[in-house]
Structure 1
Amino acid sequence: MSNFQIGDKVSVLDEAIDGVVVGVNLEQITIETADGFPMTYFVNEIVKNNISNELKGFISYAAISQVKIEKQEEKKRNFVKDKKSKKEIFTLEVDLHIEKLVPNKNGLSNYDILNIQMDTAKRQMDFAIRNRIPKLVLIHGVGEGVLKSELDFLLNRYENIRTIEGNYQKYGQGATEVYFLQKKEN
């Protein structure tokens, strides 16, 4: 005996045919297609489409009602501000890779690229001094060392700064950290 009943919506497994069961005869099921044609198939050639009624038993209405209650409850917000340790200071990071500085580097000579990078570094140094930013990180990359040597030359012209190699874990070998030694105001 098959588990199909008259009125069940079904689909044929190996063909793109849907229909409604109009006749059940032992191992054969007769369906009427959407176009109104009666067709007969074996039980193992069709599947039911309307099994949503059977799925209702799997849904826990208690769980759904619990979720609705949780959504209606007003959640208290936590406005406790995380306190930073005094060791954490604001850091201005400047990536001097040419791809980060200009939208298109095509047509630029190495001289032009180096000038753009150095102008950016100088502008950021002056900005940091003007705004009393305690730390600046210049990300220059490893490369052949031309930009790094030019940066070293630039940084030697400034007073009241201290430079160290950038944090290896964060920047690799291609960064220089600049600390500005602030003078205390009286």
Structure 2
Amino acid sequence: MFIKGDKVSVLDEAINGVVISLNDGKVTIEIEDGFMMTFFVNELIKVNNSNNLMDSIKSINVHSIAKEKEIPKARSFVKEKKDKHEISAPEFDLHIEKLVKNYKGMSNYDILTLQSETAKRHIDFAIRNRIPKIVFIHGVGEGVLKSELDFLMGRYENIVFQDANYQKYGLGATEVFFKQNSK
């Protein structure tokens, strides 16, 4: 891989030097300050001689680069796949501005209480009507509402919940699944 006299650079440090000796997977180099240092082979990278810049420029194939730029590349994107029979889950936005028109006079406790009571009503409705899944949009914030929702949903036996689809909601939503009892 390396031979005596190769110019090398250390990968994780700003050290350059010339290979002096090779011994059992270790390379001793003389750094620019004149000191000798030993490194493992995988810690070094060979540096091309930059003195002959014109040779480096001539080796670039301009025609292939031009062709590469002419060919339009297909756009790639990931589309969420759904089953034919799957219906989208109802989404409930628990942001306070979506629940009440004027919340200016409300304390943080009042806001959190209203949000958690709204979530509880939606959960109870979903259980009564055998809805298999719902999504609560709570936002990221400081995580107070998310913690409150986790606590609330932990009190139910037939509920499993997880963070909702990141591509669709980011980190600010929770997906709730209801285990249906066969009656």
Determine which of 92, 95, 98 is the counterpart of 1:94.
92
Q: Could you tell me how far 1:107 is from its partner in structure 2? A: 0.7
Q: Could you tell me how far 1:91 is from its partner in structure 2? A: 1.3
Q: Could you tell me how far 1:184 is from its partner in structure 2? A: 2.2
CA–CA separation in structure 1 for the residues paired with 2:142 and 2:159? 25
CA–CA separation in structure 1 for the residues paired with 2:124 and 2:88? 16
* Aligned residue type for 1:117: Q
* Runs of 4+ off more than 6 Å: none
Determine which of 157, 161, 168 is the counterpart of 1:163.
161
Query: Which residue does the alignment assign to 2:84?
Result: 85
| TM-score, normalised relative to structure 2 | 0.53
CA–CA separation in structure 2 for the residues paired with 1:116 and 1:91? 22
Query: Which residue does the alignment assign to 1:149?
Result: 147
Q: Could you tell me how far 1:94 is from its partner in structure 2? A: 0.6
CA–CA separation in structure 1 for the residues paired with 2:109 and 2:182? 40
Unaligned stretches of 5+ residues in structure 2: 1-82
SS in 1 for 2:134: strand
| TM-score, normalised relative to structure 1 | 0.52
Q: Could you tell me how far 1:157 is from its partner in structure 2? A: 0.2
CA–CA separation in structure 2 for the residues paired with 1:160 and 1:114? 24
Q: Could you tell me how far 1:90 is from its partner in structure 2? A: 4.5
Q: Could you tell me how far 1:89 is from its partner in structure 2? A: 3.4
CA–CA separation in structure 2 for the residues paired with 1:179 and 1:89? 14
Aligned-pair Cα RMSD in Å: 1.2
Query: Which residue does the alignment assign to 1:140?
Result: 138
* Aligned residue type for 1:125: I
Identity %: 68
CA–CA separation in structure 2 for the residues paired with 1:111 and 1:183? 35
Tell which structure's C-alpha radius of gyration is larger: 1
CA contact (8 A) 1:137 1:176 kept: yes
CA–CA separation in structure 2 for the residues paired with 1:112 and 1:160? 28
How many pairs are equivalent? 101
* Aligned residue type for 1:120: T
CA contact (8 A) 1:114 1:147 kept: yes
CA–CA separation in structure 2 for the residues paired with 1:89 and 1:107? 39
* Aligned residue type for 2:108: N
Question: How far does the alpha carbon of each residue in 1:101-145 deviate from its partner, in whole angstroms, 9 at most, with x for none?
Answer: 001111111111101100100000000001111101011100000
Query: Which residue does the alignment assign to 2:30?
Result: none
CA–CA separation in structure 2 for the residues paired with 1:118 and 1:158? 14
Unaligned stretches of 5+ residues in structure 1: 1-83
Q: Could you tell me how far 1:176 is from its partner in structure 2? A: 0.5
CA contact (8 A) 1:98 1:113 kept: yes
CA–CA separation in structure 1 for the residues paired with 2:132 and 2:158? 11
CA–CA separation in structure 2 for the residues paired with 1:109 and 1:124? 23
CA–CA separation in structure 1 for the residues paired with 2:180 and 2:125? 14
